[in-house]
Amino acid sequence: MPARAFFYLFFFYVVFCDIIIFDMRILKYIPFMIMCMFANTAMAGWQYNGYYIKDGYYSDDGSRFIIGFNGGLSWGNASITNEVGSLQASYYMNSTTGVVISGTAYALLDSTQQAEYVDIGIGDVSELKAKKDFSKTAFAAGAYIGFTIPNHPQWRLQAGYDHIAETDYDRIPLFEGDISLTSGYSAHVYSSGVKSTITTDIISIMAVYDFFEGNTKPMNTIIPYVGIGAGYSMSKTTLKLTDIFGDLSQDADLINYGTLENGILVFDNPNGSDKYPTSNNIALLGTLGISYGINEYTYLDLNARVMYVPKISWQIANSDGTQHRDWFGAENMIYSNVMLGLRFEF
């Protein structure tokens, strides 16, 4: 068991160090993990770990090296929150129709049109709520590697990687609601339109318990299991924010974050731009599933997995990427996955 234990301990050390320091560069260790798997098998003399007892009888302690792959669908749900911070905008109301427009839109009117509006004061855009929460479906895939605990093979310890494919969040308006104005009025206003995407990767450690008796898993039998874990999430977000209602263009600081397109201020976070960092956070995981032993090495696996990420943020940035500003976020993101895959135990 010493050689196998050494490889397991070194593997988990590499996972934790890379999560904390290097994020996604953990993938460079995959060739090493594969070599460990085959080297470990060779060291074992093509036998499972165990011990010899009287008259040469060999007892299997149930320990196995595990590697698995799965794929399926993920349903993401979260509350979209306004992360703009304090942002003042002026508003005008048409005295006949009651329509409210921003100060920027008012400035674009001719004098005859302006005469139809009255100044109703200044309000804070941060008071507005998101038009709609996040609810999307995407493809999901994952892989994991680990081992069963000697003499307690019902327990599996696994290090895993889950990928939630790109989904979009597009809204016009992004924010909407009643806003308190300095004049004492309360007005129903709108703010900006957004086209955005999100892709999430999660690296985790999980403890899984298989419900069976003895030191070896039964074949041709359904084996239920449950598991919990924790990890590190990395969400890549992109956005294109457009000031279609004119309330953002009144802020002198925001002009440094965007560009004018046909007289409208646009904030563009292009896909793949290095100036926009990933939104990183902890992740909590739970799983419930069943496996079916095709043979003593191969198991068909069906599971439901829930992954919780406290918050994911979308940001705008200035032209050289030296300044960032949160614009909106997805709070209490829950990814609910249904996955089908194969697990190999050696």
Q: Are residues 126 and 159 in the same domain?
A: yes
What pLDDT is stored for residue 58 in this prediction? 56
Give a yes or no: residue 237 inside a domain: yes
Question: How many distinct helices (H) and strands (E) make up the chain?
Answer: 4, 18
pLDDT digits (tens, 9 = 90+) for 185-207: 899 999 999 999 999 999 999 99
Q: Are residues 331 and 275 in the same domain?
A: yes
Q: What whole-number distance in Å separates Cα of residue 274 and Cα of residue 277?
A: 7
Q: Are residues 18 and 153 in the same domain?
A: no
pLDDT tops 80 at residue 262: no
With cut-offs at 50, 70 and 90, classify the pLDDT of residue 322: confident
The one-character DSSP state at 257 is G
Give a yes or no: residue 54 inside a domain: no
Return the bridge partners of 285, or none: 229, 307
pLDDT digits (tens, 9 = 90+) for 64-110: 999 999 999 999 999 999 999 999 999 999 999 999 999 989 998 99
Give a yes or no: residue 35 inside a domain: yes
Q: Are residues 257 and 298 in the same domain?
A: yes
The parent domain of residue 39 ranges over 1-46
What pLDDT is stored for residue 270 in this prediction? 60
What pLDDT is stored for residue 112 in this prediction? 95
Residue 263's region, left for phi above 0, alpha for psi from -120 to 50, else beta, is left
With cut-offs at 50, 70 and 90, classify the pLDDT of residue 340: very high
Give a yes or no: residue 167 inside a domain: yes
Give a yes or no: residue 170 inside a domain: yes
Written in H, E and C, the secondary structure of 123-136 is: EEHHHCEECCCEEE
DSSP alpha helix (H) spans, the chain: 2-21, 30-43, 103-107, 111-114
Q: Provide, for the chain, the percentages of residues in helix, strand and coil under a 3-state DSSP scheme, each rounded to the nearest 5.
A: 15, 55, 25
Number of domains in the chain: 2
Q: Are residues 146 and 253 in the same domain?
A: yes
CATH of the domain at 266: 2.40.160.20
Give a yes or no: residue 214 inside a domain: yes
Give a yes or no: residue 55 inside a domain: no
Residue pair 293/221 in contact (Cβ under 8 Å)? The answer is: yes
DSSP 127-160: GPEESS-EEEEEEEEEEEEEEEETTEEEEEEEEE
Q: Are residues 32 and 177 in the same domain?
A: no
What pLDDT is stored for residue 170 in this prediction? 95
- CB within 8 Å of 305: residues ≥ 6 apart: 162, 285, 286, 287, 289, 335, 336, 337, 339
Return the bridge partners of 80, or none: 330
Q: Are residues 138 and 248 in the same domain?
A: yes
Q: Are residues 103 and 5 in the same domain?
A: no
Q: Are residues 142 and 33 in the same domain?
A: no
pTM: 0.81
Task: Give the residue-averaged pLDDT of 146-170.
Answer: 96
Q: Are residues 114 and 11 in the same domain?
A: no
Give a yes or no: residue 51 inside a domain: no
Q: Are residues 329 and 180 in the same domain?
A: yes
Q: What percent of the chain stands above pLDDT 70?
A: 80
Q: Are residues 184 and 118 in the same domain?
A: yes
What pLDDT is stored for residue 54 in this prediction? 53
